[in-house]
Structure 1
Amino acid sequence: MPAVKLRLAQGTPCWVSLMTDDLAGARAFYGGLLGWTYTPGPTGLGDYVRAELDGAPVAGLGVASVVGFPVQWTTYFAADSADEVAQRVRECGGTVAVGPLQSERAGRLAIAADLSGAVFGLWQGEEHLGREAGPEPGGPAWVELVSADEEGAAAFYSTVLGRPVAPSGEDTALLVDGRPVAGIRHGRELRGHPPRWRVHFAVRDTDLTARRAVELGGSVLVEPHETGRGRVARLADPRGGRFSVVEPR
């Protein structure tokens, strides 16, 4: 789905961004894997570029401003008011680590964590409104939270974002206008890893993409396998940033 021209409804995942300690390496890896090209983005928090497909922005890549910050993808949710939603995060027992602050003329953002420590972002789009998940190869297709406390996470995000959470297939989903926009499921496979929001990028061939990731210096964490959403593989970039790819049904 192309970049949106109107701000997405509150609670909709609208952007994904990688914070890394090797921006040049990340650009080469994801460009070679997903076909991205790059344009400059806001630099208020450090070096940052927007990844594009056919001239439309699909994701952000930036340099982590905090030494020792893990290389990871962050999912941003659309907010009518980043300040008001950030306040609800605090009231519900979460933490707000960054902001809310202005990202030049692009919009207003905050970076927060839920009760279990899973990091997510809030985005109040202005000039840059983001991109909704969709099946187009190379773009974000789906996000899901993997947590040891599915029930607690569902209550937290429902209250913070003002959207219902309900069963959807095998998992629980955050609903916007009656449709699932993000998943929440029990993380039986966490095995000591912290809860996190997982980003899935759409690809034409999951098996081929997994092999290509290794050729580019990345690794395969979970081999390609069938799921209710399509054929999925869990990968990592050369600096350890984890993400998934899915060949939609």
Structure 2
Amino acid sequence: MTEPARRKPGTPCWVSLMVRSLDVTQEFYGALFGWRFRPGPQQLGLRVRGLLGDREVAGIGQLPADRDLPPAWTTYLASDDADETAEAIRSGGGTVAVGPIQAGDAGRLAICSDPTGAVFGIWQAGAHPGTAVAGAPGTPAWYELLTQETEAVGKFYKTVFGFELDPLVSADQDLVTLRVGDRPVASLHGAGSALPRDRGAHWMTWFEVADTDEAARRVTGLGGQVLRPPRDDAAGRTATVADPEGAVFTIVRSAGR
């Protein structure tokens, strides 16, 4: 279990989930990942932070009653200047839907979407640098943008965040790894016609688990759904699941663990 240093711009640094019922959601993720919860930050409305031990892993907030939005996990990318990054997003053809706004002394954030409509956040860290632990079961393990094709959207993320793009040369896969320096931090997956029409382009959070098959069974027992059963691939053993409110995420026992 390691605690990452402060993130360089573009590095995924936090994940959050907006839901209709905080109680149901806390019960689900607490049982699935062993998280416990504490309130905060209240400047952003009713929300909690999920903890492993005493280390923060993710945020969960309650959707306002008048917002009919589908629950979904949001990936936040680190920024040294949220206002400057927000302007670069607009200039690059993306949209800034919320902010930038101050979250007390924790930091400054904005909720944005890329030119394909995939939603993500930007986070300028203050007292809260982001996810405080990596590698252990129950922590974010990887971040993947599922989109129709990677070429145009890859240029957007490279321009805004300075990523190095590392495409997989393959006749049957459209996959690009995003690197910050020499470090791979996320990927773009061009799904073509296989992209779910009901969701469109979206960022997917992967969470580490000790046993993918057992965790998938637990998801079902806790009121969630298994959307793609466990299978082995280059990343490890993965399954795509949804929580009781329908928020989709991937569970993985990473290769080499």
Question: Bigger shift: 128-137 or 175-184?
Answer: 128-137
Q: Does 1:96 align with 2:96?
A: yes
Q: Matched residues, percent identical?
A: 45
1:76-112 deviation line (CA, Å, top 9, x unaligned)? 0000101101100000010000000100110000000
Question: Using the alignment, how far apart are the partners of 1:3 and 1:45 within structure 2?
Answer: 25
Question: Aligned residue for 2:62?
Answer: 63
Question: Using the alignment, how far apart are the partners of 2:55 and 2:191 within structure 1?
Answer: 33
Question: Bigger shift: 188-197 or 83-92?
Answer: 188-197
Shift of the alpha carbon at 1:233?
0.4
Structure 2 residue matching 1:93: 3-state secondary structure: coil
Question: Using the alignment, how far apart are the partners of 1:75 and 1:233 within structure 2?
Answer: 19
Question: Using the alignment, how far apart are the partners of 2:232 and 2:132 within structure 1?
Answer: 24
Structure 1 residue matching 2:43: 3-state secondary structure: coil
Question: Aligned residue for 1:173?
Answer: 177
Structure 1 residue matching 2:138: 3-state secondary structure: coil
Superposed, 1:129-168 pairs within 5 Å as 129-131=129-131, 134-167=134-167
Shift of the alpha carbon at 1:164?
1.6
Structure 1 residue matching 2:29: 3-state secondary structure: helix
Question: Using the alignment, how far apart are the partners of 2:89 and 2:227 within structure 1?
Answer: 32
Question: Aligned residue for 1:184?
Answer: 188
State TM-score, norm by structure 1.
Answer: 0.95
Question: Using the alignment, how far apart are the partners of 2:37 and 2:168 within structure 1?
Answer: 35
Q: Does 1:237 align with 2:243?
A: yes
Shift of the alpha carbon at 1:167?
1.9
Please tell me the root mean square deviation across aligned C-alpha atoms, in Å: 1.5
Question: Using the alignment, how far apart are the partners of 1:130 and 1:2 within structure 2?
Answer: 14
Question: Using the alignment, how far apart are the partners of 2:137 and 2:168 within structure 1?
Answer: 24
Are the equivalent residues in 2 in contact too, given 1:14–1:133 (CA < 8 A)?
no
Unaligned runs of 5+ in 2: none
Structure 1 residues 135, 109: CA separation in 2 closer, same or farther (over 3 Å shift)?
same
Count residues in correspondence: 248
Shift of the alpha carbon at 1:191?
3.3
Question: Using the alignment, how far apart are the partners of 1:191 and 1:217 within structure 2?
Answer: 22
Structure 1 residue matching 2:231: 3-state secondary structure: strand
State TM-score, norm by structure 2.
Answer: 0.92
Question: Aligned residue for 1:121?
Answer: 121
Structure 1: which 4+ aligned runs deviate by more than 4 Å?
1-4
Question: Using the alignment, how far apart are the partners of 1:173 and 1:41 within structure 2?
Answer: 33
